A and B are shown apart, each in its own frame.
Chain A
Amino acid sequence: MSPVPIGVVRFPGTNCDQDVFDAVAATAGAQPVWLWHKETGLRGVRGIVLAGGFSYGDYLRAGAIARFSPIMERVIAFAKSGGPVLGICNGFQILAEAGLLPGALMRNDRLTFVCRDQPLRVDSVRSPFTASFRPGEIVRFPIAHGEGNYVADDETLDRLETAGRVVFRYVDEDGRVTAAANPNGSARSIAGIASENGMVLGLMPHPDRAMSLLVGSEDGRGVFRGLMEAAA
């Protein structure tokens, strides 16, 4: 079986593009393909990753400008037709700005950038991205962001909870949701959410930086395996 082509989108200012490219390449059965922001086609990819970074310098608001680039029109159409799309960090911010995921990402409540090794709880395995995890499993992905404070109105949050669309939550070492373990002030400690059909996942933590024990964690592999399987 030929490998599944997975697109990695590069905007000006994207800086985790190579990390994501390597993560896809390290996923058995997947083949990374670069997608340039000025492109108007998808090169036949079957899944798409929006990588982290500072697209357009994050000027105005994180993700606000990237959302209008030519490639995003195609990404939006691809997602709406049911294709799997993973947005990591700045990618999550772009997905929210584009309206593919509800809510918005504001400046961290402590007002400073935060980079640390973060325990997360997998709160839903409904999405194909988390199909290989156990419900309630604790995983570790690094976080590194200044605008990761997830907000949405209560009605939206309730809807996300009941539909099993809250996929990852920030927790402490023992898997508990606490204010101290919430690195950015996100509503209900939400670290990642999925679309209604589960095929679009946005999260602030970096599974792409958790692909090898040499750098501290390989828990991110499951997310990329999920992407590959959803795309196959």
Chain B
Amino acid sequence: MTSRVEVFVQLKEGMLDPQGKTLEHALESLGYAGVDGVRVGKWITFEVQGEGREAIERQVDEMCGRLLANTVIERYTFTMREAGA
């Protein structure tokens, strides 16, 4: 089975995100009022082969915790679906 995985990585709530803050200012100065809480993150996609949804989920979770996100400063979520589905 091939699963299509999408991982989202963002700075944890409460961590200062200078990039997000800068974008927020820029949007404001472009005339978009009421914009708040801009955060910039990463979106990582890949396909993974394997059997058993739970086993794959465990594996992806491990990938995120070990490499794709730095859990000192970042949090992550991911979605999975069968490729081609």
Spell out A's residues near B (CB within 8 Å): 60-61, 64-65, 68, 96-97, 102-104, 106-111, 149, 151-152, 185
Contacts and interface: CB of A to CB of B under 8 A. Distances in A.
Contacts of A149: 18
A111 B22 contact: yes
Contacts of B11: 106
Given A96-B72, A149-B18, 6 more contacts: A61-B70, A68-B66, A68-B67, A106-B73, A185-B16, A185-B18
Bin the interface of chain B by size.
Answer: 10 to 19
B45 interface: no
Contacts of B67: 60, 64-65, 68
A110 B16 CA distance: 12
Interface of B: 11, 15-16, 18-19, 22, 42, 66-68, 70, 72-73
A104 B19 contact: no
A151 B22 CA distance: 19
A110 to B, nearest CB: 8
A103 B72 contact: yes
Contact of B70 (A97, A107, A152): A97
B10 to A, nearest CB: 13
Given A60-B67, A60-B68, A64-B67, A107 B73 contact: no
